[in-house]
Each structure stands twice: as structure tokens, then as C-alpha cells.
């Protein structure tokens, strides 16, 4: 999570405990990222087994609103939704990087943000292990799994 511009936090809609741990993950993100206002995508996973749902969509939307996060509910079996989440995430990161370059009065260029494309926040995020969730606008998202240490590298 170190220097993460964005994070995908995923909970299981069929498991109340996973939803209750969202706040812990957000706290860890703020503690480890060093970013004042990271982009957060909250994703409810396992939409395909909605009959076992323990967390309502409204609860997810409310939590995402409190976190100022994008919200999605997804199923691993609906890849179009997951693709939409990643497209929305990439766009949000791109927009944030453009905003940051405007506030620093430096022209935005992907090469100016890091010395290697493998060091870019987008590369690190897209190569992290993921689980699933949903954004406040109703779009589906995913969340990086945590290692035993403080931050994923």
C-alpha cells in the first residue's frame, strides 16, 4: 500500500465479518499509503450468490459514501462488470495524475511520474492480487489482498 494512489477494498456480500473489516482496511490504507486523499473503490463480491446475501446493497452504498469511495457489486462470473471497474479505476487514477500535474504546474507525462513503468502506481495496483467490491455510483470493484506485513510491495 506504500505510496498507493488508489486502492480497491473488497468485501464478501455473504459474510458480515468481511464487511465489518472494511474500516480497518481503510485505516491501514491511510496509515501506509502516505497519500492524503487516495482513490478508494469499495467492492461487494459474490453477487452471483445473492440468495446468501448478508450485506444489503444499501449498506455498501452508505459505507462507500462515508468513505468517499466508488461503489460496485460484482461477480467473478461477470467479467464485463470487472472490466468496467478496472476501466473506471484507471480513468480515476489518470484524472488524479492530471490534477496533480496541474497543481504542481508541471506538464503531465507518464514518464515524469516514475523512472520505470514497473514503478508506476497503476502497474503496482493492476499486478496486485485482488478480491471484489462495488462503488458508491453502483459500479463494481476489487481489493488487494494483504500480506502478513504492513504494506504490499
Residue range of the domain that includes 130: 6-144
Q: How confident is the model at residue 15 (pLDDT cuts 50, 70, 90)?
A: very high
Tens-place pLDDT, residues 83-128: 899 999 999 999 988 887 766 544 444 444 444 444 444 444 443 4
Looking at residues 11-25, what average pLDDT do you find?
A: 97
Domain assignment of residue 53, yes or no: yes
Tell me the pTM.
Answer: 0.66
Residue 11 lies in a domain: yes
> For position 99, what pLDDT does the model report?
82
pLDDT at site 104 = 57
Q: Per the domain annotation, does 151 fall within a domain?
A: no
Q: Would 153 be classed as within a structural domain?
A: no
What pLDDT is recorded for position 50?
Answer: 92
Does residue 69 form part of some domain?
A: yes
Q: Is the pLDDT of residue 142 over 80?
A: no
CATH number at residue 80: 3.40.50.300
Domain-embedded: residue 150: no
Q: What is the pLDDT of residue 137?
A: 52
Number of domains forming the structure of the chain: 1
How high is the pLDDT of residue 86? 92
Query: 23: which 3 cell numbers?
Result: 474500516
Share of the chain above pLDDT 70, in %: 66
Q: Give domain status of residue 149, yes or no.
A: no
Region 38-46: mean pLDDT is 95
pLDDT of residue 103: 63
pLDDT at 145 over 50: no
Q: What is the mean pLDDT of the chain?
A: 77
CA angle 129, 82, 109 (to 5 degrees): 75
Q: Which three cell numbers stand for residue 92?
A: 480515476
Domain-located, residue 30: yes
Amino acid at each position: 500500500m506504500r505510496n498507493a494512489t488508489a486502492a480497491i477494498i473488497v468485501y464478501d456480500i455473504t459474510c458480515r465479518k468481511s464487511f465489518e473489516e472494511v474500516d480497518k482496511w481503510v485505516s491501514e490504507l491511510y496509515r501506509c499509503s502516505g497519500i492524503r486523499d487516495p482513490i478508494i473503490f469499495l467492492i461487494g463480491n459474490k453477487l452471483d450468490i445473492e440468495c446468501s446475501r448478508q450485506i444489503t446493497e444499501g449498506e455498501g452504498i452508505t459505507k462507500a459514501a462515508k468513505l468517499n469511495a466508488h461503489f460496485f457489486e460484482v461477480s467473478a462470473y461477470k467479467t464485463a462488470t470487472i472490466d468496467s471497474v478496472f476501466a473506471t479505476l484507471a480513468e480515476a487514477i489518470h484524472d488524479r495524475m492530471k490534477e496533480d500535474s496541474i497543481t504542481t504546474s508541471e506538464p503531465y507525462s507518464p514518464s515524469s511520474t516514475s523512472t520505470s513503468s514497473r514503478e508506476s502506481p497503476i502497474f503496482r495496483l493492476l499486478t496486485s492480487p485482488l478480491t471484489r467490491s462495488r462503488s458508491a455510483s453502483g459500479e463494481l470493484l476489487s481489493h488487494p489482498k494483504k500480506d502478513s506485513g504492513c504494506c504490499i510491495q
